[in-house]
Each structure stands twice: as structure tokens, then as C-alpha cells.
Chains A and B, each alone.
Chain A
């Protein structure tokens, strides 16, 4: 039987990706803003946290205030929100594929800024020895349980926050504007301002998740924030159900556990290249099968909000809410 610590690590990573996927769902699932810049926002939050908590003069960083991680954590979230605002202000003038390409470009710009600002970020070399909460009390293998707890709490907070946003008048208006912008504008909704607020909120949520990702990786370098991380988050969200409240959570759980389980297949070392080639194929097959049999993902947006309305004891539809809200 596999050591449970391994699965604790897998679940930790799944919860981190779940947090990112739920954050992405707010802007992309409900706001209709297909964002390929997740890696950039995650980099902004991660580097903010690392720089603010850095204190070792041997690192040779020109700014290393050595703040407490409990101060740096919320500041990282706020900073990422600011970065999202700086990106969103020009990018949200665009729509569809133009917005998508622009966010991808901004993510790459952030990565290059990290590389260029080597006296602040240590450039391509990166930084190890990330400060982690409670690691003076719990060490070694046991810390994996602490980290899982932190990741679960983070995911739970993301779930509660995104759910509240989703069922709020703001969330309903956001979805209505996604489905028919002309109607939303005709009803007097300030769609552009609403989208910027959503983009900034997503930035704050990703920035709040960033330190947890660093607690897991234990080091930071620009190559950590390659576009692959964005596509993993997107894959999780699509599997779980784009627009669904629970979609990000379920999708990340299924995707990460499935990916790690595939990695456990034992093969002769001489055939490792076959397994390496099959792994992405199997993940792709999972995605295809989910979309074939559940085109809306494991959880659909419709069922998600139907359930939310029922739990709130209110059968009224979104359109009526938008009209009133």
C-alpha cells in the first residue's frame, strides 16, 4: 500500500490547483473573459511574497524587508490585484481571442520582468528556502499534513468567496452581461467597470493562493511560471465544468489525482519513454471523454445555480434578478 504521505502531497497540489481554477472561473466562467495569463498573476503574487519575506543578505537582493509571512501573504494578494488592474485596464478593451492573446502576452512580460530585474528577484537563478508557516513546530514528513491543511483551508475560502460572488447580484449581472452584453448595457449596467472589478478580484484570489503554491514547491524561479501552469488550470476547470460553482474544485481533484496515478504505472526503465509519451495522451483522453459524455463538464453551470437558488429557497431566475439588481 502506498505511503499516505504521497497522497497527502497529491491532494495538496490538487487543492492548490482547485483554488486557482475556482478563481479563474469567476472571470472566465461567469465573466466570459478567457484569460491565459494565470501564470503571470501567480508569478506576481509569488514573487511579491518571496521578496517581502526575504531577509538573508547573502541573497544579494536590493530590497529584502524580511516581513512576517502573515503580513506578506495579504500584501501579495493585494499586489496581484493591482497587477491585474494594470493588465485589465488596457486588455479589457478587447474581446474574445484578442483578450486571450493579450493576457498570454502580459503573463510572458511579467516573467521577463522577473528575469531582467535580477537584483530584486535573483533572475533566472531564483530563490530557495521559502518561509513556510508552522515549520518550526512541525518538521519533516509530518509537515505534509500541515501543508494539506493550509491548502484545504485556502480552497475552502476560495469556494466560499467565489460561491458568494456567483450567487450575488453582481455575479448574476456578470453572467447576464456575458450572455448578452447589449441587454445588460440597455438595463444600465456598467459592464466594463464590472469586468475590471472581476479581473482584479481574480488577481487578488490568485495572489492569495500564490504563497501556498510556494510552500509546496519550496523554491521560486521564472521557469516555474511557464504557460503550462495556465493550461493545467484551464484543463481542470473545463473538466470540472466552466461556470459551475464546484467545477474548479472537482476538476482539479480529478485531473491532478489522475495525472499522479498515471505516473504510478510501473514500467521497465527501458520503456520509460513510452510511459512519458502516454501520460499526456491519457490526460488528453480524460478530457475528451469528459467532454464527450458531459459536454458541460462534471458539473454544469445550470445545475450549479439551480442548486444554489434552491438552497437559498428562492426559485427566481437570473433574468429577473438582473432586471432588478
Chain B
């Protein structure tokens, strides 16, 4: 019993020693949480995501802060797991006292969705493609990237426009890859009359993908649709190259938009890969033009296409402007202001400083972000995003064109 007491005492001391945080207060800095996978599956993107968030917070503070208070970015690693998201969110809310949250991914968002509403923490999901958010949200949770539903539909649209009638599928078994792939399959077959020659599903981390690659590429497809994380994509493409399937075009999902993948594809003569997904309307966009050099200064490299960093930036500019619009850090008021500053009517603005000036002049604003106009529908999702068609050009990914989602294509039931 004595040892039990000693163990409990030791635990208590550790706990007390660790007690150093604050709770939300009306004075001091405004705290925006950044709950993101800095380790684990999403770790490879964490560095870019955090840098973009920091660029945004620096912009808020350079503009005089929010409501006259400096903004502090409170960072918490969720380990890319739902359990990490739950404990990380608890730490951000109960220890750090954040006023709003950004940075979270799909599975973590689903885990904290109810708690976010109970605690009234305005949350912007900048990396959540999950179809679970297609019909929920809009009161406390907002999503500023296209849903996996949109990504699946635009993938099918690109396949149709390229003239592919028979497509094989290679799909990694994870939420982020299966969701768009399932939509792609339903739209391509049911609404376009296309044929899936093979639907091959596989796990990440397998020793070899030889059988799966052969199964898909030898089914006489016009093209192969590959939905996978880039860690899995590399061995798949190595197998694709080794087996000489390089004359069959490929359609990728967003997660394969990595420099390593572009390098592999561009190194093979005659190979083609295309990505029809994600909102990336950066042409003649002042917000993008202002963001790129600051990101590059921060990290030493320009932003990679669709590495989620631009959305990480946008979400904190939105939160800053919404807090100013609300005139308070009260969660419900800030959440209500998010759609107001992101949607028309209002003066179009492309930075925090512009938005702040207009709000202080008593005008409504319509904030346009780095990659889209960020207009939101009633459930807090992007409203008809302009999608990008991205391909490999000169050894790297490049936007070939921007297209509107075909309104005749509908979300599968």
C-alpha cells in the first residue's frame, strides 16, 4: 500500500509540476490553436503546414493584432491519431485556453466534432476531405478545402474529358483515399457509363505491390486511377516503371502530389499522370501573390502545389477577420461571423490588413483566400469550388487548367 501511495504521490507531483497553462481570458493574447499531425502519418506535411500558419499569425500581428490584442499560435501535435486529437484538443482548450482552432485533419475532426460544439470553439478544418462533413457543420465547424466528394467527382470528370472509357483502380485502404475513390467509381460508372476494368484495394506498408500493380495495369484499361498516400505511391510507381506499364496514363488523387512522385513520372519518357482535384485557383490572385514570398522566406522554398499549406494560412486570416467582425472572442459570435466575412455581399479583400480596414470603416467584406474565393454554403463547406487539373511539367507538378465542377454530375447516394 505504501508503494501505491508513493506512486500516486509521484504522479501527482508530475501533474502539479506540469500545471503551467492558462485558461481563456478576456485579456492578454488571443490564442488560436493549431492541432495537427506533426508526427505520425501526416508528419511529412507538418513542417509546411505549421510554417503557413505562422505566416498568417505574423500577418495578423503585423496588422495590429485582433481586437487590439496580439495573436498567439498554440501548437499541439496530435500524432495523426484520433486519440491524439482528443487529448490534444483537451490540452488546447483546458490548459492553453484557445479561442479558436485550425489545422486538424479528417479523423481527428470527427473525434472532436461533438466536443467542439459543446465548448463553442470555432473550428476551421483546412485538411479535412472526409465525406462525413458533407452535410454537417456550418455553425461551429467550417471546411475550406473541397470535400472528397468533390475530389471524386472531378476525378471522374477529368477521366471523361480525357476520353477514357475503361479505367482500372488502385486504391489504398484508408479514409482519405477510399472516400474520393468510391465517389469516382460511382460517378464514372453510374453517371458516365464508364467501365471499371479492375478495382484493386491494398494496404499501406506492404512489402511489395507487384501483384496489385499487375492486376490493375493488365486489365486493358485506358487509364489507371490511383488513390494512395505518397509513401505508398512511390513503391507503386517504381513497380509501374519496372514492369513497363509506362504507356498507360494515370489519374492520381491529391495525396500523390509530391515532388518525389513528379520526379518518378517525369523521368519516364512518354509517361503521363494527371490529378483532377482540389481547389487551386491561384492565377491573378492577390492573396496568393502576397502569400508565396512570405512562405518562401519562412521556409526557404516556394509552396508545393496542394501541400495543404495555403489553406492553413487562409484559416487563420479568416479567424482573425471573423473575430474582428464579431467584436468579441465569444465562440458562438466568431463562428457566426465566419460565413459573413467569407461570403458576399461585401467588399472583396485579399489580406487581413485590407479586411480590417474595411471592417473598421463599417463595411461588409468578402474575403478571398490564396486558392479560392472561400465562399461557404449553409453547412460550412466550400460552395462550388473551382477545381484544378494538375499535371507533370518540367519535372514538377503544374496547374494545367482550372475547371468548374460539371453541375450535371451529382453526389452518389
A-to-B contact residues, CB < 8 Å: 1-3, 5-7, 9-10, 13, 112, 115, 123-126, 128-129, 139-141, 216-219, 221, 223-224, 226, 228-229, 246, 250, 253-254, 257-258, 260-261, 263-264, 266, 269-270, 272-273, 275-277, 279, 298-299
Contact = CB atoms under 8 A, between A and B. Distances in A.
Contacts of A223: 81-82, 107, 174-175
Given A264-B18, A279-B77, 8 more contacts: A2-B21, A5-B94, A7-B15, A124-B175, A128-B110, A250-B4, A260-B18, A269-B53
A279 B3 CA distance: 27
B342 interface: no
Contact of B7 (A129, A141, A254, A275): A254
B82 A224 contact: yes
Nearest to B83: A217
A270 B47 CA distance: 9
A212 B18 CA distance: 26
B94 A9 contact: yes
Contact of B119 (A141, A224, A279): A141
Contacts of A250: 4, 7
Given A223-B81, A224-B82, A264-B95, A126 B175 contact: yes
Given A125-B179, A126-B175, A260 B87 contact: yes
Given A2-B95, A221-B110, A9 B132 contact: no
A303 to B, nearest CB: 8
Q: Which secondary structure dominates where chain A touches chain B?
A: helix
A5 B89 CA distance: 12
A260 B17 CA distance: 12
Given A2-B20, A6-B94, A219-B110, A269 B73 contact: yes
A299 B2 CA distance: 11
26 contacts: A2-B20, A5-B90, A6-B95, A115-B173, A123-B178, A124-B173, A124-B174, A125-B131, A125-B175, A140-B118, A217-B82, A218-B112, A218-B115, A219-B82, A221-B107, A254-B7, A258-B11, A263-B77, A264-B20, A272-B38, A273-B47, A275-B77, A276-B43, A276-B77, A277-B39, A279-B77
Contacts of B54: 269-270
Contacts of A13: 83, 87
Interface residues of B, number: 56
Nearest to B177: A124
A269 B75 contact: yes
B118 A258 contact: no
A141 B88 CA distance: 15
Q: Which has the most chain B C-beta neighbours within 10 Å: A2, A126, A261, A263? A: A2
A257 B11 contact: yes
B138 interface: no
Q: Which secondary structure dominates where chain B touches chain A?
A: helix
A126 B107 contact: yes
Interface in B70-128: 73, 75-77, 81-83, 86-88, 90-91, 94-95, 97, 107, 110-115, 118-119
Contacts of B47: 273
Q: Which has the most chain B C-beta neighbours within 10 Å: A129, A218, A277? A: A218
A40 to B, nearest CB: 15
B75 A264 contact: no
A216 B86 contact: yes
A126 B86 CA distance: 16
A10 B87 contact: yes
Interface string B1-32: 00110011011001101111101000000000
Contacts of A221: 82, 107, 110, 175
Nearest to B97: A3
Given A124-B174, A128-B114, A254-B7, A9 B18 contact: no
Nearest to B117: A140
Contacts of B38: 272-273, 276
Nearest to B14: A261
Nearest to B19: A2
A19 B19 CA distance: 26
B132 A125 contact: yes
A124 B7 CA distance: 40
A292 to B, nearest CB: 16
A13 B21 CA distance: 20
A217 B21 contact: no
B113 A298 contact: no
A298 B3 contact: yes
Contacts of A277: 39
For the complex of A and B, the 10 pairs showing the least CB-CB separation, nearest first, are: A6-B94, A261-B18, A2-B19, A124-B175, A3-B94, A264-B18, A219-B111, A269-B75, A9-B90, A5-B94
A241 to B, nearest CB: 10
B15 A272 contact: no
A257 B77 contact: no
Q: Which has the most chain A C-beta neighbours within 10 Å: B18, B82, B112, B173? A: B18
Interface string B142-172: 0000000000000000000000000000000
A18 to B, nearest CB: 12
B385 to A, nearest CB: 21
Nearest to B6: A298
Q: Which has the most chain B C-beta neighbours within 10 Å: A124, A126, A224? A: A124
A3 B10 CA distance: 20
B3 A272 contact: no
A74 B118 CA distance: 29
Nearest to B41: A223
B130 interface: yes
A213 to B, nearest CB: 9
B34 interface: yes
B179 to A, nearest CB: 7
B20 A272 contact: no
A6 B90 contact: yes
Contacts of A219: 82, 107, 110-111, 113
B378 interface: no
Contacts of B34: 269
